[in-house]
Structure 1
Amino acid sequence: MAARFVVEADGGSRGNPGPAGYGAVVRDGDTGQLVAEAAGFIGHATNNVAEYQGLIAGLRAAHALDPDASVDVRMDSKLVVEQMSGRWKIKHPDMQPLAAEARTVFPRDRVSYTWIPRERNKDADRLANEAMDAGRAGRQWEPRPKAPATVAEPLPEPPLETTAPKAGWAAPADLGSPTTLVLLRHGETPLTPEKRFSGSGGTDPELSDKGRWQAERAAEALAARGSIQAVVASPMRRTRQTAETVAARLGLEVRYEEGLREVDFGDWEGLTFAEVHERYPADLAAWLGSAKARPTGSGESFATLTHRAGLARDKILARYPGKTVLVVSHVSPIKTLVRLALGAPPDSMYRMELSAASLCAVQYYADGNASLRLLNDTSHLR
């Protein structure tokens, strides 16, 4: 039986045009295991040319493994995906021959193209940057020896969930100052009181009048607390508005982190739970029963969310060691960070209540342990 591969490809140019490189990974389409990678420095070129070169390299790497395979190409370049899917015309003379070359690797009916967000294309992006770094140093890119296999979907849980040491009375006393993440859910939107699914694939609503009032109350409470040293937030409108209200009161700037976005609920966006149960009963049952199941359509699984939220957490901890950081996010990412801190199973998320504009707090120690200090505090809203 012919293989099924997933090709993730990317390219970049430092200057656009400027020194450019590409990267691509090939994964087993059934297991998600990494089976091949490719990268290269191409000299002076544009981002788009580099992205096409990454596509070609990924397709050729897949072809070398099995010329009869079917391939799902995933890229964060909307331009390349739409052009190769035949929905957009290819007008630029530099890209026309590259697109034609890409089409010669596999028959058209065995290749599909899917756009993915940049945060889900990190491996290809990393390889492209490695290739550009190698080119700047005057050498060719070489693969890392014995690179560990990685999985695209389903994604592994962050290490904290399974390998964190157990806290106990015998734990070392001097671990330095912990890093504290104060987790603030955004204020209400018009969809919140109606309990409608509102994720990153929907209308991106803004705060309601009550939501703005809640953000002001949170700002007052956190200003009184006096310990917040940085503010990081999801880039969605409701979290931006909440974070900016608090940050203005604290005299801080807001740093945005894509990994803190809410889950994409696919075709369920804007619907109530009852409406989803009526229209998609089987999909809803699967979603409630497994963290790897996705909402209908283009939805995102909680396994995927766990991976990106864990990466976002690790980036924040690395940037702000020993500090207290306000993290403004959504129900699902906050519940995920809480359950990871507790080492709780995925279905524990269904047993947590997080009100609009509520506060949680988690402390992280140098030995990898985490301690939940606060959950669903709404005292500032009374």
Structure 2
Amino acid sequence: MTQLIVEADGGSRGNPGPAAFGALVRAAASGEVLAEIGETIGDTTNNVAEYRGLIAGLRLAHAIDPDATVEARLDSKLVVEQMSGRWKIKHAGLRPLALEAQRIFPPGQVTYTWVPRAKNAAADRLLNDALDGKPRAAPAAPEPPEPPAQLGSATAETQQLFVETAPPETFPVEPGPAEPAAEKPEQTGGLMAVWSSELGPPTTLVLVRHGQTPMTKARVFSGGGAVGPSLDDVGQQQAKRAAEFLAESDVLAATLSGTAESGAAAASPIVVASPMQRTRETAGVIAARLGVADIAVDEQWRECEFGAWEGLTLAEITERYPDELAAWFSTTTAAPPGGESLDDLFGRITGARDRTVARYTGRTVVVVTHSMPIRVLASSTLEAPPSSVLRLQPAPGSVTEIQLYDDGTSTLAGFNHRP
């Protein structure tokens, strides 16, 4: 029996926004590409585009050999879990697409495998080429067989709650297409190279995520709406390792030793913390090691407000608030009930960054904060789309370094270092 591999991807620029899919079929034995396609589909969401890519790939495979066994490889965890029957398809707009994909081959001939985005580069290239005005057409394929009476396993009531074993605060989101590189010189011509001496000294933000708490360990949402909890024993050790790392690191060497390149006397280290108990405890350990008497507490550096999701696991949120969670994953304007949208979070955290830089221009500032604020600043520094915050994962007690220059240039000098 013929064995085929389908690689499929879909995405939109804006989510929702201009969307496309890419798909190809390989011979399983040789890896040879037998057919490929990339098409635009108007304005829609990432999830719809992912399903459209799967449908296109399965149709290509069916045209090659309707009796083949097929392994469909996608970088969308959502589509893989739903089509495998482990997640219930709750979004009404996705059910017809799942049904359309399921009916292309008889039951049992298709299996679904999640792959990292890096291993789905060929399909990603096809969809981005299509969005850039270079679609790839496929040969005409015969109509798929008539649909079965019901969706079957893809609408099973039981979800496999794999999120319980994911790292703390990891979100199962679908990677979107890479943003195209800037083509117009004027878009980047005003920025100097970061190694240019004309830029002058940067203001350096050393972002430290607080150490582990019982809620971190339990993998529940722990936001900025409550002062607690405190660090647990593991979190205390993480705070001590972060403090020791900072005391011995080059980034604070000039401040601590008085050997700044400018020749000026060294200023005292600066430590800023969000008002949450876990960040203040972490900051206290760091300040003690650095010899800092006072910690500046800034409530704008608090964690994202999760509202009704506070204290719940991702699995529990998926069960109780499926529509709200889907919206939060799909658009930056949606917020948890009683919580903050990503747009609100971006505004608050970039404002906190700008105020900190204005107050401590040219200095190195240790900011003890939370997972989501660090994600926001890393994403903003890289000029990545806001949805990218759901694909970043700073660990408890980790250190991230961002340098900001007077002309607006910023660099991500280090991310998620784990002492």
TM-score tier, shorter chain, comes to: 0.5 to 0.7
By how many angstroms is 1:321 displaced? 1.0
Provide the residue aligned with 1:22 in structure 2: none
> Does 1:317 pair with 2:373?
no
Kept in 2: contact 1:202–1:270 (CA 8 A): no
Provide the residue aligned with 2:284 in structure 1: 244
Match of 1:183 among 186, 200, 207: 207
Match of 1:215 among 239, 249, 265: 239
Amino acid of the structure 2 residue aligned with 1:216: K
Amino acid of the structure 2 residue aligned with 1:244: G
Provide the residue aligned with 1:283 in structure 2: 324
CA RMSD, 1 decimal? 1.9
Query: Following the alignment from structure 2 to structure 1, what is the Cα–Cα distance between the partners of residues 391 and 313?
Result: 19
By how many angstroms is 1:166 displaced? 5.8
Query: Following the alignment from structure 1 to structure 2, what is the Cα–Cα distance between the partners of residues 246 and 166?
Result: 38
Amino acid of the structure 2 residue aligned with 1:187: G
Q: Deviations over 1:260-305 (max 9, x none)?
A: 0001101100000010000000000000111111102x11111111
Amino acid of the structure 1 residue aligned with 2:239: A
Query: Following the alignment from structure 1 to structure 2, what is the Cα–Cα distance between the partners of residues 240 and 367?
Result: 32
Query: Following the alignment from structure 1 to structure 2, what is the Cα–Cα distance between the partners of residues 171 and 220?
Result: 28
1:38-187 equivalences under 5 Å are 167=191, 169=193, 173-187=197-211
Query: Following the alignment from structure 1 to structure 2, what is the Cα–Cα distance between the partners of residues 204 and 245?
Result: 17
C-alpha distance 170-284 of structure 1, shift in aligned 2 (>3 A) = closer
Provide the residue aligned with 1:201 in structure 2: 225
Query: Following the alignment from structure 1 to structure 2, what is the Cα–Cα distance between the partners of residues 202 and 174?
Result: 45
C-alpha distance 171-367 of structure 1, shift in aligned 2 (>3 A) = farther
Aligned-partner SS, 1:192: helix
Match of 2:375 among 335, 338, 341: 335
> Does 1:272 pair with 2:296?
no
C-alpha distance 201-176 of structure 1, shift in aligned 2 (>3 A) = same
Query: Following the alignment from structure 2 to structure 1, what is the Cα–Cα distance between the partners of residues 236 and 310?
Result: 23
> Does 1:258 pair with 2:302?
no
Kept in 1: contact 2:227–2:275 (CA 8 A): no
Q: State the percentage of identical aligned residues.
A: 47
Moved over 2 A (4+): 163-173, 226-229
Provide the residue aligned with 2:109 in structure 1: none
Kept in 2: contact 1:183–1:360 (CA 8 A): yes
Query: Following the alignment from structure 2 to structure 1, what is the Cα–Cα distance between the partners of residues 353 and 277?
Result: 20
Amino acid of the structure 2 residue aligned with 1:304: D
By how many angstroms is 1:168 displaced? 5.1
Match of 1:364 among 395, 399, 404: 404
Amino acid of the structure 1 residue aligned with 2:221: F
C-alpha distance 302-243 of structure 1, shift in aligned 2 (>3 A) = same
Kept in 1: contact 2:194–2:411 (CA 8 A): no
C-alpha distance 285-165 of structure 1, shift in aligned 2 (>3 A) = farther
Provide the residue aligned with 1:349 in structure 2: 389
C-alpha distance 172-376 of structure 1, shift in aligned 2 (>3 A) = closer
Q: Deviations over 1:182-222 (max 9, x none)?
A: 11000000011221100012462010011011111111111
Query: Following the alignment from structure 1 to structure 2, what is the Cα–Cα distance between the partners of residues 375 and 166?
Result: 26
Query: Following the alignment from structure 2 to structure 1, what is the Cα–Cα distance between the partners of residues 312 and 189?
Result: 41
Q: Deviations over 1:306-354 (max 9, x none)?
A: 1111111111101111111101000011110111111111111111111
Amino acid of the structure 2 residue aligned with 1:289: S
Q: List runs of 5+ in structure 1 lacking aligned partners.
A: 1-162
Query: Following the alignment from structure 1 to structure 2, what is the Cα–Cα distance between the partners of residues 364 and 342?
Result: 12
Normalised to the residue count of structure 1, the TM-score between the two structures is: 0.54
Provide the residue aligned with 2:117 in structure 1: none
Provide the residue aligned with 1:54 in structure 2: none
Query: Following the alignment from structure 2 to structure 1, what is the Cα–Cα distance between the partners of residues 227 and 198?
Result: 48
Provide the residue aligned with 2:104 in structure 1: none
